[in-house]
Amino acid sequence: MSAPRIHWIGPDDPPEAFPDISTACTEPDGLLAAGGDLSGERLLYAYQHGIFPWFSEGQVILWWSPDPRCILEPGKFHLSRRLRRELRKSNDEFSFNHAFQDVVAGCAGKRASQPGTWITAEMAAAYHQLNLGGWAHSVEIWRQDKLVGGLYGLAIGGMFFGESMFSRAKNASKIAVLALNQQLLEHGFSALDCQIVSPHLLTLGATTIPRADFKARLESACEPPIRRLQWPSERTSVTTLV
């Protein structure tokens, strides 16, 4: 069997120089293109069209659009009875956009399940710029002023594109997803894009939809692309989430 043909994007090609996502490989699932750069313009165009970067240190930039797509619809988070009980007696707090770079660093940290990280220094710098521009956001979980978990991603129009999450304490990443889910529900978002399905995400209430359906949802959710949310400015007790 011949190797799949991958569309090449030159560093000077315009941000929209991606092929249609329907041409993505089936093996590996969703690999669409390679090359280009991580400029804000290219990243924003990619996300609005169902594409995201995912590559390891030393690799060329790889762009993906898997089929099916994993999403979590606001209000569909599965809050188990055990987690509900733990939240009611917890002293932890959550916040939004208080420690974006620290959250990215936490997501890039070593994990027992993987030898390296795809969040390279180049990737972290690119998303930091998107954060400064009001596109990228973080959720933080605090325990006695110590960051114990969180997640980050992009808010474009009515879609939040989740990038990564981490946990240094039991259930910290779950609580971050729950806090974000409630915020997206309050602001009428279409969905939280989880990108690639995993058993863990399914336990939280995520589901999968065909790539074509996800593309159609993006066309309405990301128009107009600019949507400034009034994120809560203060830390809040996690007990408010139940």
Each residue's pLDDT expressed in tens, for the chain with a length of 242 residues: 455 678 999 989 999 999 999 999 999 999 999 999 999 999 999 999 999 999 998 899 999 999 999 999 999 999 999 999 999 999 999 999 999 999 999 999 875 555 546 899 999 999 999 999 999 999 999 999 999 999 999 999 999 999 999 999 999 999 999 999 999 999 999 999 999 999 999 999 999 999 999 999 999 999 887 767 789 999 999 999 99
The pLDDT score that the predictor gives to residue 109 is 87
Residue range(s) of every CATH 3.30.70.3550 domain in the chain: 7-67
CB 129 within 8 A of CB 77: no
Residue range(s) of every CATH 3.40.630.70 domain in the chain: 70-241
The pLDDT score that the predictor gives to residue 223 is 83
pTM of the model: 0.94
The secondary structure element, H or E, covering residue 228 is none
The burial of 51, by beta-carbon neighbours within 10 Å (0-12 exposed, 13-18 middle, 19 or more buried), is given as buried
Structure tokens at 49: 């069209």
The pLDDT score that the predictor gives to residue 62 is 97
What is the SS3 assignment for 156? strand
Q: Is 13 left (phi over 0), alpha (psi -120 to 50) or beta?
A: beta
Q: Where are the beta strands (DSSP E) in the chain?
A: 7-9, 31-35, 52-53, 62-64, 69-72, 93-96, 136-143, 146-156, 159-167, 191-195, 207-209, 236-237
Q: For residues 74 and 70, what is the distance between their CA atoms, to the nearest angstrom? A: 13
CATH class of 70-241: alpha beta
Q: For residues 211 and 10, what is the distance between their CA atoms, to the nearest angstrom? A: 26
Q: For residues 87 and 222, what is the distance between their CA atoms, to the nearest angstrom? A: 33
Query: 7-67 architecture in CATH?
Result: 2-Layer Sandwich (3.30)
Strand partners, 63: 33, 53
The pLDDT score that the predictor gives to residue 1 is 46
Structure tokens at 204: 């939280």
Residue type, 233: S
The pLDDT score that the predictor gives to residue 225 is 75
Q: For residues 90 and 79, what is the distance between their CA atoms, to the nearest angstrom? A: 15
Q: For residues 221 and 218, what is the distance between their CA atoms, to the nearest angstrom? A: 5
- Tell me the torsion sign for CA atoms 219, 224, 225, 227: negative
